[in-house]
Amino acid sequence: MFQLLPDTTAQTLTVIVNGETVTVPHGFTAAAAMLLCGESATRTTALSGEGRAPYCMMGVCFECLMEINGEPNQQGCLVTVAEGMHINRQQGKREVRE
């Protein structure tokens, strides 16, 4: 039932967060990686475009939805980082073209 947490001081991974290469500890989630880089908003709302940040960090609230490796609507708090992973803020409000 219980697992030991990985030793985050031993290994690091390189991921791309919003286009910037970042080194994060092994075992971090995508949401934690984004927060580590100083990015507070992991997504924007569909109606106003306002930034939203992770809240519960355990998969209940869905505030941490982000685009991971090109796949939208991923719960960043539940996805463990992997080498070379692309993590982007999910844009909720799209530009309307006429």
Domain-embedded: residue 51: yes
Domain span at 33: 12-89
- The residue whose two tokens read 């209940």 is 60
Question: How far is it, in rounded angstroms, from Cα 25 to Cα 7?
Answer: 9
Q: What is the pLDDT of residues 40-89, one digit of tens each?
A: 899 999 888 899 999 999 999 999 999 999 999 999 999 999 999 999 99
Domain-embedded: residue 19: yes
Question: How far is it, in rounded angstroms, from Cα 30 to Cα 81?
Answer: 6
At residue 20, the pLDDT reads 95
**Distance from chain centroid for Cα 86:** 9
Domain-embedded: residue 6: no
pLDDT at 92 over 70: yes
Whether the pTM exceeds 0.85: the reply is: no
pLDDT category at 96 given cuts 50, 70, 90 is low
Total domain count, the chain: 1
Q: How many CB atoms within 10 Å of residue 66? A: 26
At residue 2, the pLDDT reads 61
Contacts 24+ apart (CB under 8 A), 70-76: 74/30, 76/29, 76/30, 76/31, 76/34, 76/42
